[in-house]
């Protein structure tokens, strides 16, 4: 139990340490990161769909 | 007299450069050759068996792709002295940092499973039971990392890289037609047109040539080795040399299966090795030995990529130059990843072929994210200074990323509409 508490404390510490991005958020970077979010969301959903439909088929 | 003094001077200069290269060489060569891992060997064997020599031109295109992507990690590591995970956390914040770390963890673990699948099936050809292969590999990898020196680890890894060249004599042993290789292989063509099968294989080839773990691995390796800005030139040469070797080894595998197994459906490299043994015993044996070596080399690097990344973020000691007492969590995460992945091929009925094929595709789908971060990091002039990307480098790497995003998206769409490219 103690190890989990320590672990969650460590994660909180990491989140606090890196809360603010160091790189200057220029419009180009903001655009890239937003595009990346959308891209990943769409592709992950598509791949999960493919994976889930393939497993029952036994391929 | 002038001639001899010039000759002496030039030879001395070349030897000095060679000595310098040998001191710096390692991260680029190891990461590139480890890239020809068990999954990679399966992909190349399947490519040759299905399309003969017709896709060799595509593999050649992957040399500059692999080089331009990986050389950025050399600059980033040498200038910032930080690993890739830490660089993403610091530059883009915790959200993207955790995303990259979890992405790395999932892809690495799945890839590690495929390495064990490759190694167990390769040694099974020689009658070695899978449990013994898994136990032996974990023991061997323990010995390799627990010596407490990066230098020793790297030289052992380079030794395994040399063994990757067994495909070269194997290709000569099958007497391929050079005329056909040059005629069919070097002219860009899409045999049978762009359909789902061809597309899947092209994606798998990209996925096995550039993978997210390679970015994390090479940057951490550059940092652990202690390379500085002055070493960047040699580090880049090391990466280029590695890119050329890795693609040439891939071509030799395609030549072997393209010559003897053209038209035969291949699910994995071990099946190809078994079939080849019936036709040409030594070629089949070399393919099996090469498959084991590829799996081992991949496992050595991939498990380290995750452990380095975790160490960077969690603040644990995370160097191969430390011992278990100094870096217990680094070694614990290393062995945890290794053992859990090693158990999977021993589970009866585990969908191993599906995992092997999907890991390549999942890796290439998540690759654009890693590449976008890499390009953004290399454009941070405040941190990178004179080593930031030039406009030309941005055009080249930007083009590569756009091409991969288009291919990934096309694959995603074809997943929902399977008949789209038929």
- Written as one string, the DSSP assignment of chain A is -HHHHHHHHHHHHHHHHTSS-SS---HHHHHHHHHHHHHHHHHHHHHHHHHHHHHHHT-
d(CA B308, CA B220): 7
Give which of B241, B222, B302 is closest to B29, Cα–Cα.
B241
Percentage of chain B exceeding pLDDT 90: 10
Q: Is pLDDT at B209 greater than 70 in this prediction?
A: yes
pLDDT band at B358 (very low <50, low <70, confident <90, very high): low
Contacts of A18 in chain B (CB under 8 A): 89-90, 93-94, 97
- Which pLDDT value is given to residue B247? 92
Measured between beta carbons, which residues in chain B are less than 8 angstroms from residue A20?
Answer: 93
For the stretch A2-45, pLDDT in tens is: 778 888 888 888 888 888 888 888 888 888 888 888 888 887 78
Interface check B413 vs A, CB under 8 A: yes
**pTM for the complete prediction?**
0.83
Q: Tell me which of B67-71, B314-318, B360-364 is least confident.
A: B360-364
Q: Does A31 touch chain B (CB under 8 A)?
A: no
**Cross-chain residue pair A36–B358, CB shorter than 8 Å:** no
Cα angle at B274 between B273 and B275, to 5 degrees? 90
pLDDT at residue B86 greater than cutoff 80: yes
The answer to whether B408 faces chain A, any CB pair under 8 Å, is yes
Q: What is the mean pLDDT of residues B14-32?
A: 71
Task: Identify the pLDDT of residue B87.
Answer: 87
A43·B412 Cβ contact <8 A = yes
Residue B365 and residue A43: Cβ atoms within 8 Å?
A: yes
pLDDT above 90: residue B370: no
Distance CA B338, CA B137 (A): 9
Q: Do A39 and B405 touch (CB under 8 A)?
A: yes
Quick check: B388 contacting A, CB < 8 Å?
A: no
Mean pLDDT computed over B78-94: 87
Pick the more confident residue, A42 or B135.
B135
CB proximity B265 to A under 8 Å = no
Mutate to test the interface with A, among B376, B381, B384, B389 (most CBs of A within 10 A): B376
> Within its chain, how far is the Cα of B353 from the centroid?
19
- Give which of A17, A43, A44, A52 to mutate to test B binding, by max B Cβ within 10 Å: A43
Averaged pLDDT, B254-277: 81
* Mean pLDDT, residues B200-214 taken together: 80
Please tell me which of the candidates A19, A29, A39 has its beta carbon nearest to residue B368. A39
Mean of the per-residue pLDDT values of chain B: 83
Pick the residue from chain B with its C-alpha nearest to A50. B415
Please state which of the ranges A26-35, B61-70, B176-185, B187-196 shows the lowest mean pLDDT: B187-196
State the ipTM, two decimals.
0.81
Q: Nearest-CA residue of chain A relative to B368?
A: A36
Kindly calculate the radius of gyration of chain B based on its CA atoms and give it in whole angstroms: 21
Query: Would the CB atoms of B365 and A20 count as touching at under 8 Å?
Result: no
The DSSP secondary-structure symbol of B417 reads S
């Amino acid at each position: 139990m103690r190890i989990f508490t320590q672990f969650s404390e460590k994660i909180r510490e990491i989140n606090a340490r890196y809360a603010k991005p160091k790189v200057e958020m220029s419009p180009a970077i903001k655009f890239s990161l937003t595009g990346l979010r959308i891209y990943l969301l769409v592709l992950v959903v598509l791949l999960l769909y493919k994976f889930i439909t393939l497993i029952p088929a036994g391929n | 007299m002038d001639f001899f003094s010039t000759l002496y001077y030039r030879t001395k200069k070349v030897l000095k450069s060679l000595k310098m290269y040998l001191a710096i060489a390692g991260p680029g060569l190891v990461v590139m050759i480890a890239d020809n891992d068990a999954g990679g060997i399966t992909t190349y064997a399947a490519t040759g068996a299905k399309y003969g020599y017709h896709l060799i031109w595509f593999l050649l295109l992957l040399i500059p792709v692999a080089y331009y992507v990986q050389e950025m990690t050399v600059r980033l590591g040498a200038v910032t002295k930080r690993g890739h995970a830490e660089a993403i956390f610091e530059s883009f914040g915790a959200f993207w940092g955790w995303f990259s770390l979890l992405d790395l963890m999932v892809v690495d673990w799945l890839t590690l499973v495929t390495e064990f699948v490759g190694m167990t099936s390769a040694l099974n050809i020689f009658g070695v039971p899978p449990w013994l292969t898994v136990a032996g590999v974990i023991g061997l990898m323990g010995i390799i990392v627990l010596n407490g020196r990066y230098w020793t680890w790297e030289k052992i890894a380079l030794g395994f890289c040399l063994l990757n060249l067994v495909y070269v004599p194997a290709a000569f042993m099958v007497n391929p037609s050079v005329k056909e290789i040059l005629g069919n292989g070097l002219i860009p063509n899409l045999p049978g047109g762009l359909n789902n099968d061809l597309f899947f294989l092209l994606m798998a080839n990209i996925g096995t040539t550039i993978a997210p773990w390679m970015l994390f691995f090479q940057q951490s390796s550059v940092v652990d080795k202690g390379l500085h800005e002055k070493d960047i030139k040699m580090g880049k040469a090391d990466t280029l040399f590695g890119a050329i070797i890795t693609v040439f080894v891939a071509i030799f595998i395609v030549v072997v299966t393209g010559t003897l197994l053209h038209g035969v459906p291949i699910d994995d490299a071990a099946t190809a090795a078994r079939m080849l043994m019936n036709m040409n015993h030594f070629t089949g044996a070399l393919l099996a030995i090469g498959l084991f070596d590829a799996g081992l080399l991949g496992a050595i690097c991939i498990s380290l990529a995750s452990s380095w990344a975790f160490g960077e973020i969690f603040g644990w000691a995370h160097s191969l130059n430390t011992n278990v007492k100094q870096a217990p969590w680094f070694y614990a995460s290393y062995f945890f990843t290794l053992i859990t992945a090693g158990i999977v091929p021993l589970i009866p009925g585990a969908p191993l072929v599906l995992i092997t094929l999907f890991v390549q595709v999942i890796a290439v789908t998540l690759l654009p994210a890693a590449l976008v971060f890499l390009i953004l990091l290399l454009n941070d002039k405040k941190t990178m200074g004179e080593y930031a990307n030039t406009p030309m480098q941005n055009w080249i790497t930007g083009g590569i990323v756009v091409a991969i995003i288009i291919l990934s998206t096309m694959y995603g769409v074809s997943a929902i509409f399977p008949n789209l490219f038929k």
